[in-house]
Amino acid sequence: MEYTQLGRSGLSVSRLCLGTMNFGPETSEADSHTIMDRAHEQGINFFDTANVYGWKKGEGVTEQIIGRWFASGGGRRERTVLATKLYGSMGDWPNETKLSALNIRRACDASLRRLQTDYIDLYQMHHVDRATPWDEIWEAMSVLRQQGKIIYVGSSNFAGWHLAKAQEAAHRQHVTGLVSEQSIYNLLTRWVELEVLPAARDYGIGVIPWSPLNGGLLSGVLRKQREGGGSRSTTGRSADALEANRDRIDAYEKLCADLGEDPANVGLAWLLHQDGVTAPIVGPRTVAQLDSSLRAVAITLDAEVLARLDELFPAPGPNGAQPAPEAYAW
């Protein structure tokens, strides 16, 4: 496994981040524990979760699964860079959602109890709160840091101007501010290249891509169909997206076959080649899926392959492959 620093911080994290969203709803607790053990065996030290994962309001099912794994000892907590999130509704009463100072305090304490730990390495805001002032948010986060309950703060699903606003408010309060931003980013969804990536690079914020395979559309879905395999990518909105992109996904899978690589690993490797990306989030449902994703770190894509991928999946903006404002201006 390779490691890098998370943004401008001194924190070392693996180039793949273990996503835990499937733990509980899709993967049993026993299998989830096995996957986390396997991740450690393979050198993955960066785990991502959220208080809402498990999708039973207020229960924090996935955090509880991780907490019981930590409680089993063996240095599991000490070897893990633990990231969790707040924002989503954890109840039906006022102040059980978003980023008020009150909810930040309560949500953090609840996550600590479920995770059976006394600190969170990376505490992430799951979404922008348009109603709460940044001075209030940073004061609340600073209190948690002073209490030793969190170490770093990150964001998720922020626009570029939200990153700028957050960092400027942090600078006014003389606090570190954000060290990471978690955004949807993959070959099919490249909008962050316009504003988010440039802003993140400028402020020293590490980018953690979620949905790196666009819900499975970049995982070899057409090959799996031909082989008779089922996939969540062939139902609902994913099926519509597949039909809309069938030709270029087919060309992509042929390119991967020519490279002798699995499409899922090429998709992850492409992200690892992007300036500013810290670690794509892989969300395995099985140990086999986790093991397969490890290959991505070893893949080197040359300039010709990267250019071909840009042809198949162009960057957004009429001028393409440029940050804003050059993407849409001179």
- Compute the chain's Rg from CA coordinates: 20
Here the contacts of 195-198 (C-beta below 8 Å, separation 24 or greater) are 195/159, 195/160, 195/161, 195/323, 195/324, 196/158, 196/159, 196/160, 196/163, 197/274, 197/275, 197/276, 197/323, 198/160, 198/323, 198/324
Longest C-alpha distance within the chain, in Å? Answer: 58
Indicate the SS3 state at residue 41. helix
Burial 99-112 (b: 16+ CB within 10 A, else e): bbbebbebbbebbb
- CA dist 18 to 54, 57, 61, 94, 145, Å? 16, 23, 17, 32, 24
Is 151 strand, coil or helix?
Answer: strand
Tokens standing for 34? Answer: 């096995």
Do the beta carbons of residue 88 and residue 51 sit within 8 Å?
yes
Q: Round to whole Å and give the CA distance between 19 and 185.
A: 15
In one-letter notation, the amino acid at residue 39 is: A
Positions annotated as catalytic residues are 53
Give the span between the Cα atoms of 233 and 24, in whole angstroms: 20
Q: For residues 270 and 309, is the Cβ–Cβ distance under 8 A?
A: yes
Helix (H, G, I), strand (E, B) or coil at 18: strand
Residue recorded with tokens 């948690």? 144
Q: What angle do CA 45, 177, 278 make, to 5 degrees?
A: 35
